[in-house]
Structure 1
Amino acid sequence: MARGRTRRGPVSGIVVRVIEIQELTKRYGGKTAVDGLTVTVRPGHVTGFLGPNGAGKSTTLRMIIGLNRPTGGSVTVQGRPHASNPRGLWYVGALLDASEVHGGRSASGHLRALARSNDIPRARVAEVLAQVGLADAANRRIGGFSLGMKQRLGIAAALLGDPQVLLFDEPFNGLDPEGVRWVRGLFRQLAAEGRTVFVSSHLMSEMQHTADHLVVIGRGRLIADESLSDFAARSVRPTVSVATPDAVRFAEILREQGVRVQSTGVQTLEVADLAAARVGELAFTHRVQLHELTTHATSLEEAFMDLTADSVEYLAGDPR
């Protein structure tokens, strides 16, 4: 534990410390990476920061900790620009790029250098290495680490100053299934202690197991800012697959009821926003023979893809 720090309990009873982003903009020449972004990231939650590759997530994180200067707007951490904190790791811990470490140093040497520059007690180095499962690799050179081990080392560096605010950019890259499960549990634990945990990813499938709240951006602009449950309720819509030898007639019957229907084959239909039981009732009433009637729930991953479809910068062709 860092000098003079105590373990934090639940959110109640502590000063609310947040990341405040107001009209944040970053341009590189004629390209706008972040475009008027306004977001508040609150403590006590794991907030997922989602968007396609090139959406502006990494640029936003770099501006939060003062590595990049905004073209316009502002961002503060705990009420002030983070760059004004002389011992930054006491306030914000960040994993931005696990590969950006000196390969010739040992894991403990790398963390000792960070601790020395931020006036953090040396004892914290052994503590965080043990916490992330790298105690046995403390004296090994980082150049021989796998990507998953580098991710763990980056998380250890973020935890070194026992900060209230933590930022993680694509922290699941290179981790095996056990490592992914461990990181999920760590993030939830940190949030339960009342910390602000902001996790960037382009994988909705990972965030649905990790985050409580979602901030979704595309082409540098805000698309959604809501709880995971609200995102699921708003975006996940079931469809019903129907197989019938009378597909053309049945499609017309459904459209007369105001139902959205799409033909997916000679004898197959996809019906939206109508329960399978009601589809079956209409088929029975109009003497339509059914061979199949199946409900399919749209996954959160599909909902995310639909939501960000217009914001994908690099779109590959259909491989089929």
Structure 2
Amino acid sequence: MIEVNGLTKRYGAATAVKDLTFAVRPGEVTGFLGPNGAGKTTTLRMLLGLVEPTAGTATLQGLPFRHHPRGLRHVGALLDAGDVHGGRTARAHLAVLARSNGIPRARVDELLREVGLAGAARRRIGGFSLGMRQRLGIATALLGDPPVLLFDEPLNGLDPEGVLWVRGLFRRLAAEGRTVFVSSHLMTEMEHTADQLVVIGRGELIAAEALSAFAARGTRLSVTVGTPDGAVLTPLLTAEGASVVPDGDRLTVTGLTAARIGELAFRNRVQLNELSTSSASLEEAFMELTSDCVEYLAGETR
């Protein structure tokens, strides 16, 4: 389990993280979202003891990371896939870490096979593609078979097969009862992978809740109505306070439920060919709820 309480980090007059409090529980995949510059990486680095908090606490399995002897057995992390010695081979990189953490050497080859790098085990990392480095970084995080796992943008550089593999891996790790915390900017992947979300903006907490609850909270649902009688139905809907956008024989309606629209159509003898409610979009909710927390906006003039 990961617990963050009042976590704050200031750099001079700038505050990167401000009074963050949240928990990441085992048995679920928790997505960590926020606009660029929101403080996600700083938070992860404080969790791993790489940055000292100005105030507050961050604990993993009840203790700060520095209090865990042979840390890879307790916490696995991928923060920067490029932060490795390019002159080493993949096997040598993992073997050094295994030895320093008291992990059996056999675990190295096991993981190289699991992440799809067995055929590249003797190649120098400097010649790896970004996707291969990501796979090696994931292997490093898994090396100690830890109960807590942190990943910062783990899908960068992966091909579609790799993305599907990582998605399944995270699900399996959570099903084994591990704590899986994933920072990502890929909303579609979070929709497919995460159970819970922690969302921050400008270093402050925006939400810590189930993905479905966050998406529903930030998005107004719309109803698509197919009818040849749009001119008749539209004023009936607007009279009820709905917003109606016509598009040929279809209307996009917000502000009324599908049930209420169907009732109005039935009462007024309006023919309906389609009546469907759109699903909530995580991306729409994220953009709406973090719109005033984005540091740089495309097309913005200052």
Which residue pairs with 1:137 in the alignment? 120
Question: Is the contact made by 1:236 and 1:297 (CA closer than 8 Å) also made in structure 2?
Answer: no
Mapped to 2, the partners of 1:99 and 1:217 lie a distance apart of: 25
**TM-score for both structures, normalised by structure 2:** 0.88
Mapped to 1, the partners of 2:177 and 2:226 lie a distance apart of: 52
Which residue pairs with 1:25 in the alignment? 8
Which residue pairs with 2:298 in the alignment? 316
Question: Is the contact made by 1:55 and 1:220 (CA closer than 8 Å) also made in structure 2?
Answer: yes
Confirm or deny that 1:303 pairs with 2:293. Answer: no
Matches within 5 A, 1:109-258: 109-240=92-223, 253-257=236-240
Which residue pairs with 1:84 in the alignment? 67
Which residue pairs with 1:274 in the alignment? 256
Confirm or deny that 1:40 pairs with 2:23. Answer: yes
Mapped to 1, the partners of 2:177 and 2:155 lie a distance apart of: 22
Query: Percent identical across equivalent pairs?
Result: 68
Comparing 118-127 and 105-114, the one that deviates more: 118-127
SS at match of 2:199: strand
Mapped to 2, the partners of 1:62 and 1:301 lie a distance apart of: 26
Displacement of 1:235 in angstroms is 4.0
Mapped to 2, the partners of 1:192 and 1:92 lie a distance apart of: 17
Mapped to 2, the partners of 1:47 and 1:178 lie a distance apart of: 22
Structure 2: tracts of 5 or more residues without a match: none
Comparing 28-37 and 241-250, the one that deviates more: 241-250
Mapped to 1, the partners of 2:63 and 2:12 lie a distance apart of: 28
Mapped to 1, the partners of 2:266 and 2:68 lie a distance apart of: 70
Structure 1: tracts of 5 or more residues without a match: 1-17
Give CA deviations for 1:180-227 in whole Å, capped at 9, x if unaligned.
Answer: 111111111111111111111122211111111111111111111112
Aligned residue type for 1:224: A
Which consecutive segments of 4 or more residues in structure 1 shift more than 4 A? Answer: 241-253, 262-270, 283-295
Distance 1:54 1:264, change over 3 A: farther
Distance 1:277 1:43, change over 3 A: closer
Question: Aligned pair count?
Answer: 300
SS at match of 1:54: coil
SS at match of 2:193: coil
Which residue pairs with 1:55 in the alignment? 38
Give CA deviations for 1:107-146 in whole Å, capped at 9, x if unaligned.
Answer: 0111122123223222221121111111111000111111
Question: Is the contact made by 2:238 and 2:244 (CA closer than 8 Å) also made in structure 1?
Answer: no
Displacement of 1:264 in angstroms is 7.1
Distance 1:291 1:228, change over 3 A: closer
Mapped to 1, the partners of 2:91 and 2:213 lie a distance apart of: 43
Comparing 26-35 and 190-199, the one that deviates more: 26-35
Distance 1:230 1:280, change over 3 A: closer
